[in-house]
Amino acid sequence: MKAELFNFKCWINTSDSVVLKSKLEDFLRKSEFTILGFIDHQFSPQGYTCVWLLSESHLAVHTYPEHDKSYVELTSCVEQKMDEFKACIEGDFTIV
């Protein structure tokens, strides 16, 4: 068995933690990723980081509210699922 990892990373035009958590989890489910866990942290006075642990690897998000944008990075061992997630995010957010 050959070990391969695929990576998708982008900046998107929101830093709203509620929107990010809801939409990105929905995109993971639509892409048929297996979610094993989720952890997040709201920083004071601002900023948010969250990570989904997936059977296929992980998704991490870091917000930059001072610029109203977020960094999203998905690592996966299943290219087809990653491509589907990428299509969801590109269809719903502006990539900046």
Catalytic residues: 57, 62, 77
Angle of helix 79-92 versus helix 17-30 axis, rounded to 10: 140
Task: Count CA within 13 A, CB hemisphere, residue 64.
Answer: 9
